[in-house]
Amino acid sequence: MIHTDINLQQLISLARAAVTETAVFINHETGKVQAGQIEEKFLNGLVSYVDRTAEEMLVKQLSAILPQAAFVTEEETVAQTSEAGLKWIIDPLDGTTNFLYGVPHFSISVALQSTDELLLGIVHHVPANEQFYAWKDGGAWCNDQAIQVSRRAELRQALISTGFPYHNFERAEGWFNALRRFMEEGRGVRRFGSAALDLAWVACGRFDVFFEYGLNAWDVAAGALLVKEAGGHVCDFSGGQAFIDKKEMLATNDLCFDATFNLIHKSFVD
């Protein structure tokens, strides 16, 4: 349920400013991180002072904007809660490996959730200075221009994005089955290394389909709202809305959803 005392359009304007300031910091640090300043949190999971400082900046500013909200963040620089009625969900640097290796494809992802309802989402493509954002029932936008999902209707026309499994390989067989089907039946498959940006690009029509498993809330919460407000579909691999809890997601435009969902369901569920 939406908190009736919150003006979402005003709130997202303030949150966007906080994200923009954080993006300036990340841009300034690009190419400056030394090998000794990089840690491996888990297999193929890298982090540096840039991630942590960016998260601290966002937490400080978002706390001032909405003091009653709790936090779920990737780097855990603030007390975490998944039970709060109102919470910010933050990935301060989605695509850390790209950032550290000099690949210009990484983003900031910020969402606000009320109980189980996404209220607003921001995904900022830092190197391109593109800011995608949406609020519930307010549409989806990029740099003040309205965006919509693509109108490509057939799977053979669809450009698909995904993320390779990188530390959880328990469902790799299903993923490879889906990948093969998409390679055979779609226009092509891309893997750029930022789930938040993949979803933003589905929302603006650059991609037609996104699927991945092993996802965390901070990877997809903002992007999921972007896709929905841009006229697309977002679900888990069984067709439900438990994509955050199940750590899996399918996002598509509205026209090729049925064919795409059938493919994903057969690969992962049947």
Question: Would residue 31 count as lying in a domain?
Answer: yes
Q: Which residues, other chains included, contact 76 with Cβ-Cβ below 8 Å and sequence gap of 6+? A: none
Q: What is the H or E stretch that residue 63 is in?
A: helix 49-65
Task: Please give the Cα distance from 138 to 115 (Å, whole number).
Answer: 19
DSSP 269: T
Q: Which residues, other chains included, contact 218 with Cβ-Cβ below 8 Å and sequence gap of 6+? A: 72, 73, 74, 89, 90, 91, 94, 109, 111
Task: Please give the Cα distance from 222 to 131 (Å, whole number).
Answer: 12
* Domain range for 184: 155-268
From 115, 146, 177, the end of a domain falls on 146
Judge if 132 and 159 occupy the same domain.
no
How many structural domains are present in the chain? Answer: 2
Judge if 47 and 67 occupy the same domain.
yes
Q: Which residues, other chains included, contact 82 with Cβ-Cβ below 8 Å and sequence gap of 6+? A: 72
List phi, psi (to 5°) of 62: -70, -30
Closest CA to 260 of 247, 250, 249, 270: 250
Question: Would residue 14 count as lying in a domain?
Answer: yes
Beta-bridge mates of residue 72: 89
Judge if 190 and 216 occupy the same domain.
yes
Tens-level pLDDT at each residue, the chain (270 residues): 455 568 999 999 999 999 999 999 999 999 988 888 878 876 657 788 999 999 999 999 999 999 999 999 988 888 777 666 899 999 999 999 999 999 999 999 999 999 889 999 999 999 999 999 999 999 999 999 999 999 999 999 999 999 988 777 889 899 999 999 999 999 999 999 999 999 999 999 999 999 999 999 999 999 999 999 999 999 999 999 999 999 999 999 999 999 999 999 999 987
Question: Would residue 103 count as lying in a domain?
Answer: yes
Question: Would residue 95 count as lying in a domain?
Answer: yes
Judge if 139 and 173 occupy the same domain.
no
Judge if 200 and 264 occupy the same domain.
yes
Question: Would residue 65 count as lying in a domain?
Answer: yes
Judge if 118 and 198 occupy the same domain.
no
Judge if 142 and 178 occupy the same domain.
no
What CATH number is attached to the domain comprising 61? 3.30.540.10
What CATH number is attached to the domain comprising 194? 3.40.190.80
pTM: 0.94
